[in-house]
Structure 1
Amino acid sequence: MTGVRGAYLDAARVASTLLAVPAVAAGWERPSALERYAVSGLAGHLGGQIFFAERALAGPEPGTAPLTILDYYARVAWMSAGHDGPEHLRIRRGSEQAAEAGPADLALRAAAAVDRLPDLFAATPASRLVRLPTWQWTLTFDDFLRSRLVELAVHIDDLAVSVDLPTPPLPPQVTEPVLDLLTRLAVRKHGPVALLRALSRAERAPGTVAAL
Protein backbone atom coordinates (compact mmCIF):
# COMPACT_ATOMS: atom_id res chain seq x y z
CA MET A 1 0.00 0.00 0.00
CA THR A 2 1.38 3.42 -0.97
CA GLY A 3 0.66 7.04 -0.10
CA VAL A 4 -0.30 8.19 3.37
CA ARG A 5 -2.09 4.92 4.10
CA GLY A 6 1.03 2.90 3.40
CA ALA A 7 3.13 5.34 5.42
CA TYR A 8 0.72 5.11 8.34
CA LEU A 9 0.86 1.29 8.26
CA ASP A 10 4.67 1.39 8.24
CA ALA A 11 4.72 3.69 11.27
CA ALA A 12 2.03 1.72 13.08
CA ARG A 13 4.04 -1.49 12.66
CA VAL A 14 7.12 0.18 14.14
CA ALA A 15 5.05 1.51 17.05
CA SER A 16 3.46 -1.89 17.66
CA THR A 17 6.86 -3.58 17.69
CA LEU A 18 8.23 -0.99 20.14
CA LEU A 19 5.28 -1.48 22.50
CA ALA A 20 6.18 -5.17 22.76
CA VAL A 21 9.85 -4.61 23.66
CA PRO A 22 10.64 -5.85 27.22
CA ALA A 23 12.20 -2.50 28.16
CA VAL A 24 8.78 -0.85 27.88
CA ALA A 25 7.24 -3.28 30.36
CA ALA A 26 10.27 -2.95 32.65
CA GLY A 27 9.93 0.85 32.75
CA TRP A 28 6.12 0.89 32.87
CA GLU A 29 5.79 2.82 36.14
CA ARG A 30 8.68 5.23 35.58
CA PRO A 31 8.31 8.85 34.47
CA SER A 32 8.63 9.20 30.70
CA ALA A 33 10.42 11.78 28.58
CA LEU A 34 7.03 13.42 27.97
CA GLU A 35 6.01 15.82 30.72
CA ARG A 36 3.19 14.59 33.02
CA TYR A 37 3.26 11.07 31.53
CA ALA A 38 4.53 7.83 33.02
CA VAL A 39 5.90 5.33 30.51
CA SER A 40 2.58 3.51 30.80
CA GLY A 41 0.55 6.57 29.81
CA LEU A 42 2.92 7.41 26.97
CA ALA A 43 2.67 3.83 25.70
CA GLY A 44 -1.11 4.07 25.90
CA HIS A 45 -1.01 7.33 23.96
CA LEU A 46 1.17 5.76 21.27
CA GLY A 47 -1.11 2.74 21.05
CA GLY A 48 -4.07 5.07 20.78
CA GLN A 49 -2.74 6.44 17.50
CA ILE A 50 -3.19 2.92 16.11
CA PHE A 51 -6.62 2.33 17.64
CA PHE A 52 -7.93 5.69 16.40
CA ALA A 53 -7.80 4.57 12.75
CA GLU A 54 -10.48 1.92 13.31
CA ARG A 55 -12.41 4.18 15.65
CA ALA A 56 -12.54 6.98 13.08
CA LEU A 57 -14.16 4.67 10.52
CA ALA A 58 -16.56 3.02 12.96
CA GLY A 59 -19.07 5.87 13.06
CA PRO A 60 -21.27 7.32 10.33
CA GLU A 61 -19.68 9.59 7.78
CA PRO A 62 -20.14 13.24 8.85
CA GLY A 63 -22.14 15.56 6.66
CA THR A 64 -19.99 18.65 7.26
CA ALA A 65 -17.25 19.91 4.94
CA PRO A 66 -13.71 18.90 5.92
CA LEU A 67 -11.02 21.26 7.15
CA THR A 68 -7.60 21.26 5.57
CA ILE A 69 -4.94 19.64 7.71
CA LEU A 70 -3.34 23.02 8.47
CA ASP A 71 -6.65 24.53 9.51
CA TYR A 72 -7.25 21.55 11.78
CA TYR A 73 -4.00 22.25 13.63
CA ALA A 74 -4.88 25.94 13.82
CA ARG A 75 -8.08 25.10 15.70
CA VAL A 76 -7.26 22.22 18.06
CA ALA A 77 -7.15 23.39 21.67
CA TRP A 78 -4.20 21.27 22.76
CA MET A 79 -1.82 23.19 20.48
CA SER A 80 -2.00 26.26 22.73
CA ALA A 81 -3.26 24.82 26.04
CA GLY A 82 -1.07 24.36 29.10
CA HIS A 83 -0.11 20.88 30.30
CA ASP A 84 -2.78 21.01 33.00
CA GLY A 85 -5.53 22.44 30.80
CA PRO A 86 -8.71 20.41 30.31
CA GLU A 87 -7.76 19.22 26.82
CA HIS A 88 -4.44 17.75 27.95
CA LEU A 89 -6.03 16.26 31.06
CA ARG A 90 -8.57 14.50 28.84
CA ILE A 91 -5.84 13.20 26.55
CA ARG A 92 -3.78 11.91 29.49
CA ARG A 93 -6.78 10.18 31.03
CA GLY A 94 -7.56 8.46 27.74
CA SER A 95 -3.92 7.39 27.38
CA GLU A 96 -3.85 5.95 30.88
CA GLN A 97 -7.10 4.08 30.24
CA ALA A 98 -5.65 2.55 27.07
CA ALA A 99 -2.74 1.21 29.15
CA GLU A 100 -4.57 0.19 32.32
CA ALA A 101 -4.58 -3.56 31.53
CA GLY A 102 -0.78 -3.55 31.36
CA PRO A 103 1.99 -3.65 28.76
CA ALA A 104 1.34 -7.14 27.41
CA ASP A 105 -2.34 -6.41 26.79
CA LEU A 106 -1.57 -3.09 25.10
CA ALA A 107 1.06 -4.65 22.83
CA LEU A 108 -1.27 -7.50 21.83
CA ARG A 109 -4.14 -5.15 21.04
CA ALA A 110 -1.89 -2.86 19.01
CA ALA A 111 -0.50 -5.78 16.99
CA ALA A 112 -4.00 -7.12 16.33
CA ALA A 113 -5.20 -3.70 15.19
CA VAL A 114 -2.24 -3.33 12.82
CA ASP A 115 -3.08 -6.71 11.28
CA ARG A 116 -6.66 -5.59 10.58
CA LEU A 117 -5.83 -2.21 9.09
CA PRO A 118 -4.68 -3.14 5.54
CA ASP A 119 -8.04 -4.69 4.63
CA LEU A 120 -9.89 -1.83 6.29
CA PHE A 121 -7.88 0.76 4.38
CA ALA A 122 -8.35 -1.07 1.08
CA ALA A 123 -12.12 -0.96 1.57
CA THR A 124 -12.19 2.76 2.45
CA PRO A 125 -12.70 5.18 -0.47
CA ALA A 126 -10.41 8.16 -0.94
CA SER A 127 -13.37 10.49 -0.42
CA ARG A 128 -14.20 9.16 3.06
CA LEU A 129 -14.70 11.84 5.73
CA VAL A 130 -14.23 11.22 9.46
CA ARG A 131 -14.93 12.95 12.73
CA LEU A 132 -14.00 11.50 16.11
CA PRO A 133 -16.58 11.84 18.92
CA THR A 134 -14.40 14.33 20.81
CA TRP A 135 -13.74 16.47 17.73
CA GLN A 136 -15.59 19.55 16.57
CA TRP A 137 -14.35 19.27 12.98
CA THR A 138 -14.30 16.94 10.01
CA LEU A 139 -11.23 15.77 8.09
CA THR A 140 -10.76 13.54 5.09
CA PHE A 141 -9.68 10.11 6.28
CA ASP A 142 -6.28 10.55 4.63
CA ASP A 143 -5.70 13.89 6.36
CA PHE A 144 -6.74 12.24 9.61
CA LEU A 145 -4.04 9.63 8.98
CA ARG A 146 -1.53 12.42 8.29
CA SER A 147 -2.24 13.85 11.72
CA ARG A 148 -1.82 10.40 13.31
CA LEU A 149 1.38 9.85 11.34
CA VAL A 150 2.92 12.85 13.07
CA GLU A 151 1.76 11.51 16.44
CA LEU A 152 3.23 8.07 15.73
CA ALA A 153 6.61 9.42 14.63
CA VAL A 154 6.94 11.85 17.54
CA HIS A 155 5.80 9.44 20.24
CA ILE A 156 7.86 6.52 18.93
CA ASP A 157 10.86 8.73 19.65
CA ASP A 158 9.44 9.79 23.05
CA LEU A 159 8.86 6.20 24.15
CA ALA A 160 12.23 4.92 22.96
CA VAL A 161 14.04 7.73 24.79
CA SER A 162 11.94 7.07 27.91
CA VAL A 163 13.17 3.47 28.18
CA ASP A 164 16.77 4.14 27.08
CA LEU A 165 16.46 2.55 23.65
CA PRO A 166 17.67 3.87 20.30
CA THR A 167 14.82 5.44 18.38
CA PRO A 168 13.61 2.90 15.80
CA PRO A 169 14.28 4.05 12.24
CA LEU A 170 11.31 5.05 10.13
CA PRO A 171 11.39 4.85 6.32
CA PRO A 172 11.41 7.98 4.14
CA GLN A 173 7.78 7.23 3.23
CA VAL A 174 7.02 8.14 6.86
CA THR A 175 9.57 10.80 7.72
CA GLU A 176 9.17 12.93 4.60
CA PRO A 177 5.44 13.72 5.01
CA VAL A 178 5.89 14.12 8.77
CA LEU A 179 8.71 16.61 8.35
CA ASP A 180 6.84 18.41 5.57
CA LEU A 181 3.79 18.92 7.80
CA LEU A 182 5.86 19.91 10.83
CA THR A 183 7.79 22.41 8.70
CA ARG A 184 4.56 23.99 7.48
CA LEU A 185 3.27 24.21 11.05
CA ALA A 186 6.56 25.72 12.23
CA VAL A 187 6.45 28.34 9.47
CA ARG A 188 2.91 29.23 10.47
CA LYS A 189 3.98 29.55 14.11
CA HIS A 190 7.38 31.25 13.79
CA GLY A 191 7.48 32.69 10.27
CA PRO A 192 9.62 31.70 7.28
CA VAL A 193 12.65 33.76 8.28
CA ALA A 194 12.98 31.91 11.58
CA LEU A 195 12.94 28.57 9.75
CA LEU A 196 15.39 29.83 7.13
CA ARG A 197 17.85 30.90 9.81
CA ALA A 198 17.40 27.75 11.90
CA LEU A 199 18.22 25.58 8.90
CA SER A 200 20.99 27.64 7.34
CA ARG A 201 22.50 30.17 9.77
CA ALA A 202 23.36 28.82 13.21
CA GLU A 203 24.67 32.23 14.32
CA ARG A 204 21.24 33.81 13.74
CA ALA A 205 19.05 30.84 14.59
CA PRO A 206 16.20 31.48 17.03
CA GLY A 207 16.01 29.62 20.30
CA THR A 208 13.30 27.30 18.98
CA VAL A 209 11.32 26.62 15.84
CA ALA A 210 9.26 23.83 17.41
CA ALA A 211 6.05 23.24 15.49
CA LEU A 212 4.05 21.69 18.33
Structure 2
Amino acid sequence: GEVDQSNGWLRVGRYSQHFVDDLPTSISAVQHLHNLLGEPIDRGSPTYQQVRTELGTKGLPSTQHELKLRELSGGQKARVVFAGIAIVRPHVLLMDEPTNHLDVQSVDALIEAVNAFEGGVVVISHDRRLLQNTNCTLWLCEAPLVKPLGADFDGYETRVLKMIAKRQAAEEERMRWRAEQRRKQAEARKKEAAKRITERGDRGGKKAACID
Protein backbone atom coordinates (compact mmCIF):
# COMPACT_ATOMS: atom_id res chain seq x y z
CA GLY A 1 0.00 0.00 0.00
CA GLU A 2 0.88 3.67 0.07
CA VAL A 3 2.24 5.55 3.09
CA ASP A 4 0.78 9.02 3.62
CA GLN A 5 3.70 11.39 4.09
CA SER A 6 1.71 14.60 3.73
CA ASN A 7 2.69 15.73 7.22
CA GLY A 8 6.37 15.36 6.33
CA TRP A 9 7.12 13.37 9.47
CA LEU A 10 7.78 9.88 8.08
CA ARG A 11 10.61 9.64 5.55
CA VAL A 12 10.72 6.40 3.58
CA GLY A 13 13.72 5.33 1.52
CA ARG A 14 12.85 3.01 -1.37
CA TYR A 15 15.17 0.83 -3.38
CA SER A 16 13.88 -1.27 -6.27
CA GLN A 17 15.68 -3.89 -8.32
CA HIS A 18 14.50 -1.83 -11.31
CA PHE A 19 16.29 1.29 -10.09
CA VAL A 20 18.13 1.81 -13.41
CA ASP A 21 14.83 2.64 -15.09
CA ASP A 22 14.05 5.23 -12.42
CA LEU A 23 17.30 7.21 -12.54
CA PRO A 24 17.40 10.42 -14.62
CA THR A 25 20.32 9.36 -16.81
CA SER A 26 20.85 12.77 -18.42
CA ILE A 27 22.19 14.36 -15.22
CA SER A 28 25.11 13.62 -12.90
CA ALA A 29 25.07 11.88 -9.54
CA VAL A 30 25.77 15.20 -7.83
CA GLN A 31 22.83 16.85 -9.59
CA HIS A 32 20.57 13.90 -8.79
CA LEU A 33 21.26 14.10 -5.05
CA HIS A 34 20.81 17.88 -5.06
CA ASN A 35 17.44 17.37 -6.75
CA LEU A 36 16.44 14.91 -4.03
CA LEU A 37 17.27 17.54 -1.42
CA GLY A 38 15.48 20.25 -3.41
CA GLU A 39 18.55 22.48 -3.56
CA PRO A 40 20.52 23.97 -6.47
CA ILE A 41 24.17 23.08 -6.92
CA ASP A 42 26.51 25.49 -5.13
CA ARG A 43 30.03 24.12 -5.08
CA GLY A 44 30.93 26.14 -2.03
CA SER A 45 27.94 25.11 0.05
CA PRO A 46 27.82 22.55 2.88
CA THR A 47 25.19 20.65 0.89
CA TYR A 48 27.58 20.18 -2.03
CA GLN A 49 30.23 18.78 0.30
CA GLN A 50 27.62 16.57 1.96
CA VAL A 51 26.58 15.19 -1.42
CA ARG A 52 30.17 14.46 -2.47
CA THR A 53 30.89 12.83 0.89
CA GLU A 54 27.78 10.66 0.68
CA LEU A 55 28.67 9.48 -2.81
CA GLY A 56 32.21 8.70 -1.71
CA THR A 57 30.99 6.85 1.37
CA LYS A 58 28.85 4.64 -0.84
CA GLY A 59 31.89 3.72 -2.93
CA LEU A 60 31.49 5.95 -5.99
CA PRO A 61 34.91 7.33 -7.06
CA SER A 62 35.12 11.13 -7.07
CA THR A 63 35.97 11.11 -10.78
CA GLN A 64 32.48 9.77 -11.49
CA HIS A 65 30.48 12.19 -9.36
CA GLU A 66 30.03 14.67 -12.21
CA LEU A 67 29.55 12.14 -15.03
CA LYS A 68 26.13 11.67 -16.60
CA LEU A 69 24.39 8.73 -14.95
CA ARG A 70 24.04 6.97 -18.30
CA GLU A 71 27.85 6.67 -18.37
CA LEU A 72 27.96 4.67 -15.12
CA SER A 73 27.84 0.91 -14.76
CA GLY A 74 25.00 -0.92 -13.05
CA GLY A 75 26.95 -1.24 -9.80
CA GLN A 76 27.90 2.44 -9.87
CA LYS A 77 24.29 3.45 -10.41
CA ALA A 78 23.34 1.28 -7.45
CA ARG A 79 25.78 3.25 -5.29
CA VAL A 80 24.16 6.49 -6.45
CA VAL A 81 20.76 5.16 -5.43
CA PHE A 82 22.07 4.13 -2.01
CA ALA A 83 23.61 7.57 -1.55
CA GLY A 84 20.29 9.15 -2.51
CA ILE A 85 18.48 7.03 0.06
CA ALA A 86 20.97 7.84 2.81
CA ILE A 87 21.13 11.58 2.20
CA VAL A 88 17.43 12.13 2.92
CA ARG A 89 17.87 10.37 6.29
CA PRO A 90 14.87 8.01 6.03
CA HIS A 91 13.07 6.52 9.01
CA VAL A 92 12.21 3.34 7.08
CA LEU A 93 14.02 1.52 4.27
CA LEU A 94 12.07 -0.54 1.71
CA MET A 95 14.48 -2.57 -0.42
CA ASP A 96 13.62 -4.97 -3.25
CA GLU A 97 16.55 -7.23 -4.29
CA PRO A 98 19.14 -4.58 -3.34
CA THR A 99 22.19 -6.73 -4.17
CA ASN A 100 21.40 -6.96 -7.88
CA HIS A 101 24.22 -5.36 -9.93
CA LEU A 102 26.51 -5.17 -6.87
CA ASP A 103 30.00 -6.60 -6.55
CA VAL A 104 31.19 -8.40 -3.40
CA GLN A 105 32.61 -5.27 -1.78
CA SER A 106 29.39 -3.35 -2.38
CA VAL A 107 27.32 -6.17 -0.87
CA ASP A 108 29.54 -6.08 2.22
CA ALA A 109 29.05 -2.31 2.45
CA LEU A 110 25.28 -2.76 2.13
CA ILE A 111 25.28 -5.35 4.92
CA GLU A 112 27.16 -2.95 7.19
CA ALA A 113 24.79 -0.12 6.31
CA VAL A 114 21.68 -2.20 7.03
CA ASN A 115 23.07 -3.38 10.36
CA ALA A 116 24.03 0.17 11.33
CA PHE A 117 20.70 1.67 10.28
CA GLU A 118 18.63 2.59 13.34
CA GLY A 119 15.26 2.81 11.60
CA GLY A 120 12.99 0.14 10.22
CA VAL A 121 14.14 -2.03 7.32
CA VAL A 122 12.07 -4.23 5.01
CA VAL A 123 14.25 -6.20 2.58
CA ILE A 124 13.09 -8.60 -0.12
CA SER A 125 16.06 -10.67 -1.21
CA HIS A 126 17.29 -14.07 -2.39
CA ASP A 127 20.89 -13.20 -1.54
CA ARG A 128 22.27 -15.71 0.95
CA ARG A 129 25.05 -13.46 2.24
CA LEU A 130 22.70 -10.56 2.83
CA LEU A 131 20.14 -12.71 4.64
CA GLN A 132 22.73 -14.47 6.77
CA ASN A 133 24.67 -11.38 7.82
CA THR A 134 21.99 -8.79 8.57
CA ASN A 135 20.30 -8.58 11.95
CA CYS A 136 16.84 -9.02 10.51
CA THR A 137 13.86 -11.18 11.37
CA LEU A 138 13.15 -13.48 8.44
CA TRP A 139 9.62 -13.73 7.06
CA LEU A 140 8.48 -16.25 4.48
CA CYS A 141 6.17 -15.24 1.62
CA GLU A 142 4.06 -18.23 0.61
CA ALA A 143 0.84 -17.20 -1.09
CA PRO A 144 -1.54 -16.24 0.31
CA LEU A 145 0.32 -15.82 3.63
CA VAL A 146 3.34 -13.95 4.95
CA LYS A 147 4.56 -15.49 8.19
CA PRO A 148 7.61 -15.45 10.47
CA LEU A 149 10.16 -18.00 9.36
CA GLY A 150 10.81 -19.22 12.88
CA ALA A 151 14.42 -20.12 12.06
CA ASP A 152 17.64 -18.63 10.77
CA PHE A 153 18.49 -18.87 7.08
CA ASP A 154 20.53 -22.05 7.50
CA GLY A 155 17.64 -23.73 9.29
CA TYR A 156 15.24 -22.62 6.58
CA GLU A 157 17.59 -23.85 3.86
CA THR A 158 17.88 -27.25 5.57
CA ARG A 159 14.10 -27.49 5.78
CA VAL A 160 13.65 -26.55 2.13
CA LEU A 161 16.31 -29.02 0.99
CA LYS A 162 14.59 -31.80 2.95
CA MET A 163 11.27 -30.86 1.38
CA ILE A 164 12.82 -30.85 -2.10
CA ALA A 165 14.47 -34.22 -1.45
CA LYS A 166 11.14 -35.63 -0.26
CA ARG A 167 9.37 -34.35 -3.36
CA GLN A 168 12.10 -35.74 -5.60
CA ALA A 169 11.89 -39.13 -3.88
CA ALA A 170 8.11 -39.15 -4.33
CA GLU A 171 8.47 -38.18 -7.99
CA GLU A 172 11.07 -40.90 -8.55
CA GLU A 173 8.75 -43.41 -6.91
CA ARG A 174 5.90 -42.31 -9.21
CA MET A 175 8.20 -42.65 -12.22
CA ARG A 176 9.23 -46.15 -11.14
CA TRP A 177 5.58 -47.12 -10.64
CA ARG A 178 4.66 -45.78 -14.08
CA ALA A 179 7.60 -47.59 -15.66
CA GLU A 180 6.54 -50.82 -13.96
CA GLN A 181 2.97 -50.33 -15.15
CA ARG A 182 4.19 -49.77 -18.71
CA ARG A 183 6.37 -52.89 -18.44
CA LYS A 184 3.44 -54.96 -17.21
CA GLN A 185 1.18 -53.61 -19.94
CA ALA A 186 3.79 -54.38 -22.60
CA GLU A 187 4.25 -57.88 -21.18
CA ALA A 188 0.48 -58.41 -21.18
CA ARG A 189 0.27 -57.28 -24.81
CA LYS A 190 3.05 -59.70 -25.76
CA LYS A 191 1.29 -62.56 -24.02
CA GLU A 192 -2.00 -61.65 -25.66
CA ALA A 193 -0.33 -61.48 -29.08
CA ALA A 194 1.38 -64.84 -28.51
CA LYS A 195 -1.93 -66.35 -27.41
CA ARG A 196 -3.68 -65.13 -30.57
CA ILE A 197 -0.89 -66.53 -32.75
CA THR A 198 -1.15 -69.88 -30.98
CA GLU A 199 -4.92 -69.93 -31.36
CA ARG A 200 -4.69 -69.16 -35.09
CA GLY A 201 -2.12 -71.93 -35.45
CA ASP A 202 -4.36 -74.40 -33.68
CA ARG A 203 -7.33 -73.50 -35.87
CA GLY A 204 -5.21 -73.87 -39.01
CA GLY A 205 -4.00 -77.31 -37.93
CA LYS A 206 -7.54 -78.55 -37.33
CA LYS A 207 -8.69 -77.39 -40.79
CA ALA A 208 -5.76 -79.11 -42.42
CA ALA A 209 -6.62 -82.34 -40.60
CA CYS A 210 -10.20 -82.22 -41.88
CA ILE A 211 -9.08 -81.76 -45.50
CA ASP A 212 -6.83 -84.78 -45.34
State TM-score, norm by structure 1. Answer: 0.28
Is the strand fraction higher in 1 or 2?
Answer: 2
Instruction: Name the larger-Rg structure.
Output: 2
State TM-score, norm by structure 2. Answer: 0.28
Is the helix fraction higher in 1 or 2?
Answer: 1
Which gives a bigger RCO, structure 1 or 2 (Cα 8 Å, sep 6+)? 1
